[in-house]
Structure 1
Amino acid sequence: MIKRCRVRLLHVCGFGRNSFPASSDKRYFRLQAPVLYREMNMHRFKSRVALPAAFCCAITAGGAGNAQQSDDKAMPLGDGRAGSMPLRGHVYSCMTRFLGGGAEHDGEWLGADSWDATRKIHVQGDVSWPNARFSVQTLNGVRKITGNGLPTGHTTGIFPIHPSDPAYRIDRNPNRIEARQVALNLPMLPEIAADAGCLPMGMVGITSGGVAIFNALDAAGRDAVAHEVQDHCNGHPQMSGQYHYHGISPCHAAENENNALIGYALDGFGIYSSRDESGKELSNADLDECHGRISRISWDGQRREMYHYVLTKEYPYTIGCFRGRLVSGSGEATNGEQPATGGPGFVPVGAASRLPPQEALDSCGVLSLGERCEFVSPRGDHVSGICRSPSGLKACVPDRMPAIR
């Protein structure tokens, strides 16, 4: 009976009140959920299967909270699901060439196409950060976020990973956690962009606990949550010491709450907990290609029907692409670097002749904006500089230009 109801729900209802199409058709973003639901009701009761369909819709919606619980013992592995276009359940990555890195060996929890989260080990340690600071202020439509990148609400593991730690056998992360300047100016009422934006390697959002959120990929382009060994809060540092998450952190105070604000993406949209208001655990099937949806949320003290991202236990965990318009001058995650107008991956018209050499692009492949870099130019100059994104592509920008010869 339930199976027949679900089939009828699919054909008659189309989709549920909180489940929106994941296609590239942008028209659905202009429709609010009450409008869609009203239209479905009108269509439903004009059909010959009106009452059975309505009954099935009610049953299916009521039972959905328990129907889509994730299986922690067989989480789908995200390897190979990074590409150059938005796609549900994937990462739309600005980087298309991955130079390797990440964990040295596969953990026992990894299978051919899935992984067992209940068997995964964590980096040992319980380090406090009394100097952690984080602040969010709003003024004139701008959300000003400042901090030093250290977690304000929880401890971390010991990094670099010590050779005596069992995690060292799998992942020998040599980086230590260090304070990093955070200065972001995000729109309080972000707008949906005409086209989705790709995600850089590095910070794509920040939690209300002051911790950076990275995309789901490790330096080799694999599922970072599955392959890399993080601490008990699912965090770890990258090369310049920036502590960050690739997925859900059990240490965030609001993660176990329904429809709770966890943090902000760099386009200004909110990032919310993995369960909706009814307690249903959301999955990729409930979200669009950027890992978000439109529903009622609490936003700056008001109830609003608006777009937001959702954390999930399954890959890509946080954000699949930027749905919003990245604002010029919104700041940079770690050192105040200004993002290029149009957001990550955006190349201005006519800029092709000004693109940096491939060597400059490659040198910043696994680094974050603001980190030191060096490369040998096509004509043999040894160049040192800083990873920046002057043309929308992350590249090593020289401290000074080589002499003309």
Structure 2
Amino acid sequence: MTLLRAFAAVRAPSRSVLRSYSTAHTASSSSSLGSWAKLAVGLSAASVAAVYLYDSRAWVHRGILMPTIHFLLDAETAHRAAILAAKYHLCPVDRGVDSDVLATEIWGKKISNPIGLAAGFDKHAEAIDAMFGVGFGAVEIGSVTPQPQPGNPLPRMFRLPEDRAVINRYGFNSEGHQAVYDRLKSRIRNFLYRSASGSESLPKSLKENRLLGVNLGKNKTSPADSDDDYIKGIEKLGEFADYIVVNISSPNTPGLRALQRREPMERLMQEVKDSRDKLSHRPPVVVKIAPDLTDEELDDIAQVVMKVGIDGVIISNTTISRPATLKSDPRLIREMGGLSGPPIHSLSVATLSKFYKITGGSVPLIGCGGVLTGEDVIRFAKAGASLVQLYSSMAYEGPGLIADLKDEVTRILNRENKTWNDIVGLDHK
């Protein structure tokens, strides 16, 4: 029944997309060939389902599951299907134990591994515990806006397969504060009930030291010079957050990146910090910035962060640039929106390294951008990242990527006879 509910849920919003695909596919092939293709897809799906649900390792996802999904579904429909699969617990679970060399501490809290899920995947807080279950040490939901808004018109998400990259212009599609509040409240309520009843099936994130981040955005219709949307987010959702993210770097909301300039950013961050200080548990405040900043702009942001006393910085969001190395269809490359995935990794690492130098390593940094391999994770850490986030690579590798990354990072650390904490900022020492 759970499987049927998930299928029905993903089928309803994507019916028109699938109908268009089906029409085009039928027109280009005989009905007999179409039947055999459907049978082959069905048998393939059945043959890997058990392995997929049991084994969190990536080979079945990378080699079979994700190519099948890409063949059947457009990028946004596949994204929605992934969320629903996680929501209904139709995703693998990492049954391994994180190596001690991955353990780290940030903002006074110990976590078992430094690999986190970036905002943008679970926008509406529907799949938190499933994402902790696949092995993330931190999960970030959002961006969440005060009022529900649909975001930009479809289509708004595009795969660049030859580059294993993604362009999106979602535009802060959000169900709003209240919907996310209700889900977070229900999650805590369920946890308390299970604790009282002695249940052993508690979510990993509540049994262990894991981090839940809440990423706050701004409604498109809000005044450009108003900071109220972020304050409302702290007041409404701050009680559930292990850390709060102020997203001022999405390229898909007009005027948002202007908040990265020194004066408006200093005003905003001071107001955000004052609002945070009214919460009983005072979660760390983190700001998320773009990779497309000049050295002068980066220095201005660093000065604001240190002056106001912001607790951390995520570097970086998507880029509006288009590297000359991109190999995918030029028509896709020209789509408007933010580019994410391996093509932006070097840019993000370089920006984070500059920021670490400016601040002297005094501000915890979270590296985000183009993480696909264990070496990518290590590169971010040595540049100065205390935590590392990913999202786009799961669209190609599947959720088994997380367990594989942790294994690869563990092997590298053991080979170098170091722990995660030993290598953070190592390039600067």
TM-score (norm 2): 0.23
Structure with more of its chain in strand, by fraction = 1
Which has the higher Rg, Structure 1 or Structure 2? Answer: 1
TM-score (norm 1): 0.24
